[in-house]
């Protein structure tokens, strides 16, 4: 097969070249338009490029659909060259995938076109965003974009960047690493850490309850916390579940309690719960798992409140998943707004596409972050929440070594 590339100032000139060089049966494989510098680089000129093939051994079916150059020239003469040329060319190219030479040419062209479209879309998104937030300084716009791409809410992202801009002197604006460091510090300040669960009293157990929407990882997190307290810190740790709805859920915690060697009590009413807490008064820590209640179910939330008031916990951690959408997390927050929650745990960081939601939520509810969980393994996949690590992850940088 004979493959050639032709360049001209217009589509019709390029097609005329193809026709005169390769004849009317040549088939167009690819067309593109680009600008090149001329006049010592002072001016840019548009160039139309056509890649055409001749003597193609393609099946009849393909030849019937492929458009010979002749018809392009006729169409071009009618002033409608571009749309008609553009459509048959990739179609012919697709048919020619069966020929090795045609395959290479067509794939090269497609890759280039896709990359051009990507650049165009990126530029358009940037322009639109810049118009929406004209207050963000141009030099810091890429950092603003990184925050928004991590799903930090636009208003919050703009505020963070504007505040950052006020801290920077003009000579800093070119120092990307310096700016990034300052930005990490700014985000870190917005993510206060609660620190790990510790005893805050000298007598009686520290009572900790975990609440949150269904399936976010409450039971798994309780198991991780209990295993760490019991096995690593050698603390007497009792477990209570008020998950009375599903036998499977109780079994799940019982399995962990057995492995860890901690007592487990299953309670079905606030009175039961009060009794279970009293029975575990010799423990240093009591961890209470709660049933996964749908955030839509207001009645069951009032039940949860009754359980919590019976247990009288020292701390209540609201567990939220980083894999949920911003809307889902907000819905959960509004449903649980009425229930006491002192600290936040974010789960499933290992599966989250973006971590902006953590910043959005903490900024909104002004609660501190106690733990994050990073996988399904008990007890290893849990870490004390550290604002700096999260800030780095939000900006697409990895965690710092040793953290």
Ligand X SMILES: Nc1nc2c(ncn2[C@@H]2O[C@H](COP(=O)(O)OP(=O)(O)OP(=O)(O)O)[C@@H](O)[C@H]2O)c(=O)[nH]1
Dihedral of CA 156/181/346/318: which sign? Answer: negative
Binds ligand X by CB under 6 A, chosen from 19, 30, 72, 218:
218
How far is Cα 245 from Cα 223, in angstroms, rounded to an integer?
A: 19
Rounded least distance, CB 51 to ligand X, Å: 47
How far is Cα 177 from Cα 185, in angstroms, rounded to an integer?
A: 12
Site string for ligand X, 220-249 (x = CB under 6 A): x----------------------------x
Rounded least distance, CB 372 to ligand X, Å: 8
Rounded least distance, CB 365 to Mg ion, Å: 22
The neighbouring-strand residues paired with 52 are 4, 28
Helix, strand, or coil here: 400?
Answer: coil
Rounded least distance, CB 162 to Mg ion, Å: 42
Place of tokens 């649980």: 336
Binds Mg ion by CB under 5 A, chosen from 146, 150, 206, 219:
219
Question: In the complex with ligand X, which residue's Cβ is closer, 235 or 293?
Answer: 293
Q: What single DSSP character describes residue 345?
A: E
Question: Residue 344, interface with ligand X (CB under 6 A)?
Answer: no
Rounded least distance, CB 120 to ligand X, Å: 36
From ligand X, Mg ion, none, interface partner of 374 (C-beta below 5 to 8 A by class): ligand X
Q: What single DSSP character describes residue 24?
A: T
Tell me how far the alpha carbon of residue 181 is from its chain's centroid: 22
Q: Which residue's C-beta sits nearest to ligand X?
A: 292
Dihedral of CA 381/384/385/389: which sign? Answer: negative
Return the range that interacts with ligand X (CB under 6 A); candidates 127-135, 155-163, 214-222, 226-234: 214-222
Number of shown-chain residues binding ligand X (CB under 6 A):
18
Residues in touch with ligand X (CB under 6 A): 214-220, 249, 292, 347-348, 350-351, 373-376, 381
- By CB under 5 A, name the binding residues for Mg ion: 218-219
């Amino acid at each position: 097969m004979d493959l050639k590339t032709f360049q001209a100032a217009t589509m019709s000139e390029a097609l005329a070249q193809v026709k005169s060089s390769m004849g009317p049966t040549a088939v167009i494989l690819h067309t593109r338009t680009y600008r090149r510098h001329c006049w010592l680089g002072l001016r840019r000129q548009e160039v139309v490029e056509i890649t055409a093939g001749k003597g193609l051994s393609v099946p009849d079916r393909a030849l019937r659909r492929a458009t010979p150059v002749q018809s392009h020239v006729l169409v071009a003469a009618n002033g409608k060259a571009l749309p008609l040329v553009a459509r048959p060319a990739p179609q012919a190219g697709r048919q020619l995938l069966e020929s090795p030479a045609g395959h290479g040419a067509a794939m090269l062209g497609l890759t280039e076109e896709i990359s051009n479209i990507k650049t165009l879309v990126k530029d358009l998104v940037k322009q639109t965003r810049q118009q929406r937030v004209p207050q963000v300084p141009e030099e810091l716009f890429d950092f603003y974009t990184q925050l928004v791409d991590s799903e930090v809410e636009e208003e919050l992202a703009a505020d963070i960047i504007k505040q950052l801009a006020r801290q920077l002197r003009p000579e800093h604006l070119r120092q990307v690493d310096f700016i990034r460091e300052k930005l990490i510090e700014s985000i870190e300040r917005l993510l206060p850490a609660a620190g790990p669960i510790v005893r805050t009293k000298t007598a009686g157990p520290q009572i900790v309850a975990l609440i949150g929407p269904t399936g976010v990882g409450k039971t798994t997190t309780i198991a991780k916390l209990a295993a760490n307290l019991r096995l690593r810190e050698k603390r007497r740790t009792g477990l209570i579940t008020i998950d009375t709805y599903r036998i499977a859920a109780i079994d799940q915690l019982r399995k962990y309690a057995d492995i860890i060697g901690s007592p487990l009590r299953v309670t079905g009413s606030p009175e039961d719960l009060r009794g279970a807490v009293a029975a575990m008064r010799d423990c240093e820590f009591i961890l209470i798992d709660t049933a996964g209640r749908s955030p839509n179910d207001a009645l069951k939330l009032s039940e949860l409140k009754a359980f919590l008031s019976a247990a009288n916990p020292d701390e209540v951690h609201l567990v939220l998943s980083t894999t949920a959408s911003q809307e889902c997390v907000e819905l959960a927050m509004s449903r649980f707004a009425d229930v006491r929650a002192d600290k936040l745990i974010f789960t499933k960081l290992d599966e989250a596409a973006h971590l902006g939601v953590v910043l959005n939520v903490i900024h909104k509810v002004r609660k501190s972050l106690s733990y994050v969980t990073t996988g399904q393994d008990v007890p290893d996949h849990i870490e004390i929440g550290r604002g700096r690590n999260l800030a780095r992850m939000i900006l697409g940088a990895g965690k710092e070594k040793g953290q």
